Amino acid sequence: MSGGIRGLFTLQEMIKPHVNGYRMNLYEIAYLSDEQILSACLEGKEREKVQSSDNRKTWNTCGYVRLSCEDGDRLESNSVTGQKNLIRDYLSRHPHLIERGMKVDDGFSGSDFERPAFREMMEEVRAGRIDCIVVKDLSRFGRNYLEAGEYIERIFPFLGVRFIAINDNYDSEHKSGEMDCLLIPFKNLINEAYCRDISMKIRSQLAVKRKRGDFVGSFAVYGYRKDSENKNRLAVDAFAAEVVRDIFRQKLAGVSAGDIADGLNEEGVLPPMAYKKSQGLNYATPFRGGGSPSWNASAVLRILKNPVYTGTLVQGKSASPGWRARGRMEKPQGEWDIVEDAHEAIIDKETFAIVRKVLAGDTRTSPGRSAVEIFSGMVFCGECGGPMVRKTVTAKKRKYVYYVCGTHKIEKTCFSHSISHERLAEIVQKELQGAGRTPLLLKWQKAAQEEKYLIRKYEERLRRKQEEAENYRRILDSLCESLAEGVIDGQEYGELKKSYQLKLAQTRREGEKIRKKMNRAAEEAAKEKRRWEQFERYGSITEVDRAMAVFLIDRIFIYRNKAVKIIFNDKF
C-alpha cells in the first residue's frame, strides 16, 4: 500500500478500532482505493451524527498558534498572545469544544509543516487525544497551498479531525458544499503567494545589506557583539576580543591549536557557545560536542581562520535553492559578499596573513614539546624546492638537530645535504642584525610590545574568577538561610551545598592558575624590555624566537654548498 493517504499513515494507524464510527479490518483496507477509504470515513461520520442527534457531541480541542517575522507576521493581531486570546474566546462561546491544549510555533515560517509544536499536535491526534483543531485563520495554519490543502481535504477527514479557522469562517463540521471547495483552496493559494512575495522581498533586502557591509547574522561572532545603536554593525566585546588576541599571539609563538585550547580550559575561559549563553543570548551552534562545554582544537582553528577579526565581513556563502526549499546550497566564492573595513578590527591584516601562512605550513610539535620549533614550516631545499625535514641525532648522550632535504630522504632524487639548527639560528640572527634590517626589527619590537606581553588579559580573567568565586560563596551562605526558613529540606540542602562547594573549589583552582600565568607573563615582559633596551643601545639581538621568525621571515632556502638564502616577508 503506497501513495496518497496510504503513504502518510501506517497500517496500525488505519485499522484502529474505528475511524469515524466505520470499522475496517486489514483485508478490507488492503483492497480499498483512497476514494473508497474517504467515502467510508464520511459515511461513518454521517452515522455518528444520526446516533448522537439527541446528545450533542463534545470535541477534544487543541488551539494552534504560529508566528513568524520572516513571512511578514508582524501585526499585533498576529502576536502569540493575540491568537491565543482569540481562540480561547471562541472556545468559551462554544462549550462543546473542550480545550485540551494550546500548541505554539513561535518563529516558524508557514511555508512548510516541519514545525515542532505542529508535529506534537499531530502525534496527539494520532493517539486519539485530540479530534478538533482551531486556528485564528488559514494563514496561521500554513502558507503552503499544496500541503495545507492535503491536510484540510484529506488527512483531517481521514483521521476524524474537525478543523476550524475562525476569521475565515470555516468549520469542517459545517461546510457549505461547493462554495468551500472553491473558496478554501483559493485562500490557501493567496496565502502561499503572500509568503513567496515576502520571502523574495526579504532576500532582496538582505542582499543589499550584505553588499554595503551590514551584518545580517542572528548572532555576532565570538569576540564581537551587536552594536547597541545599530544591530547591523559589529562592536568589539572587550573580554572575548582579548581571548581572540591571545589565541593569535600563542599561535605566532608556535603553540598548537590543541595546546591553546587546553590552556583556555585550565583557566576556566568559557568557549564561544557557553560565553554567549552567559551573556543572556539564546545561542545554538552545530559545532557542539557532548559533556560540559570546553574549548577544543577545532574551535581555536575556526577563530584563527576567520577574516572577520581583521574587520572584513564575508557573508552570503550559502543560500537556499528556493523560497520553499529546505536546506542550504554552497555558493561559488566569486558570489560571496565580501566587504573590508566593515567594523573595528581585533587582529591586523599583517598578523592574520602570517598566521594563515603558519597554518598552511608543517607546524607539528616535537614529542614532549608544547610548541613547534622556531623554523618549522619555513625551511626549504634550495636545489629542489621541497621542504627540509627536521631530524634529531643523539651522540655521546647529547642531541643534535639537523634539517635535511625531505625529497632526498624519501625519494633519493635530490642531493644529500643538511644544516644544523644551531648554525641556521646563528645565520638568521646575524642576517637580522645586518645593514637594512633595523626597520624590520623596530617594526617587530612595536608588535611585540603591543601584542605579546600584555598582562591585562590575565588581570581581567583573574577579576572575573574572583567575582565568580564570591558569587558561589554568597549562594552557599544563602542556602543556610533557606534551610532555616524551611524553603528547602535537609536533603536538598546537602545536594546543593555539595554542588556549589565543588564549583567554588574549581573556580579557585582556575583563578590560581591564572595568577601563576600572570606572574610568568610579567617576568617575560621584563625580560623582553631588557632585550629591546639592549637592541636600541647596541643594535644587536641575543636570540631569535618563533614569533619573531614567523613575523619577519617568509622562507629560508638551504643549498648543498651550505649557502643560506633568507626571504623576508614582502609586507615589510
Domain boundaries in the chain? 56-196, 233-285+295-371, 438-540
| CA–CA–CA angle 5, 10, 11 (5° rounding) | 100
Q: What is the CATH number of domain 56-196?
A: 3.40.50.1390
- Model pLDDT, residue 551: 75
Which whole-number Å values give the CA distances from 265 to 510, 511, 513, 540, in the listed order? Answer: 9, 12, 11, 39
Residue 437: which of 533, 559, 535 has the closest Cα? 535
Q: For the chain, which ranges sit under pLDDT 50?
A: 1-32, 45, 47-54, 71-72, 76-77, 177-179, 286-290, 435, 451-453, 538, 572
- Model pLDDT, residue 366: 55
Q: Which residues, 6 or more positions from 235, have their beta carbon under 8 angstroms from its beta carbon?
A: 224, 225, 226, 227, 228, 343, 344
- Model pLDDT, residue 49: 46
Q: What is the CA radius of gyration of the chain?
A: 34
Report pTM: 0.54
- Model pLDDT, residue 1: 40
Residue 109: which of 194, 186, 170 has the closest Cα? 194
| CA–CA–CA angle 480, 481, 487 (5° rounding) | 100
Task: Check: CB of residue 33 under 8 Å from CB of residue 73.
Answer: no
- Model pLDDT, residue 104: 92
Residue 171: which of 132, 144, 209 has the closest Cα? 132
Please name the helix (run of DSSP H) or strand (run of DSSP E) that holds residue 446, with its range, or none. helix 438-447
CB atoms within 10 A of CB 119: 12
Task: Check: CB of residue 22 under 8 Å from CB of residue 40.
Answer: yes
Q: Round to whole Å and give the CA distance between 73 and 79.
A: 8
Task: Check: CB of residue 315 under 8 Å from CB of residue 210.
Answer: yes
- Model pLDDT, residue 62: 95
Q: What is the DSSP letter of 101?
A: E
Q: Round to whole Å and give the CA distance between 388 and 377.
A: 9
Three cell numbers, residue 465: 574568577
For 337-371, give one letter per residue: b (16+ CB within 10 A) or e.
bbbeebbebbbbbebbebbeebeebebebeeeeeb
Q: Round to whole Å and give the CA distance between 378 and 424.
A: 12
Three cell numbers, residue 304: 584563527
Which whole-number Å values give the CA distances from 428 to 378, 435, 535, in the listed order? Answer: 12, 13, 16
Phi-psi region for residue 226, left (φ > 0), alpha (ψ -120 to 50) or beta?
A: beta
Q: Which residues, 6 or more positions from 55, have their beta carbon under 8 angstroms from its beta carbon?
A: none
- Model pLDDT, residue 410: 80
The torsion defined by the Cα of 115, 116, 121 and 127, in degrees rounded to 10, comes to 120
Q: Give Cα 444 distance to the centre of its chain.
A: 35
Q: What is the DSSP letter of 414?
A: S
- Model pLDDT, residue 203: 67
- Model pLDDT, residue 161: 93
233-285+295-371 and 56-196 share a CATH fold: no
Q: Round to whole Å and give the CA distance between 203 and 175.
A: 39
CB atoms within 10 A of CB 185: 16
Q: What is the DSSP letter of 253?
A: T
Determine whether domain 233-285+295-371 maps to CATH 1.10.3470.
Answer: no
Q: Which amino acid is at 244?
A: V
CB atoms within 10 A of CB 113: 17
Paired sense of beta strands 59-67 and 97-106, if any: parallel
Judge residue 528's burial from the number of C-beta atoms within 10 Å of its C-beta, 0-12 exposed, 13-18 middle, 19 or more buried.
middle
- Model pLDDT, residue 3: 43
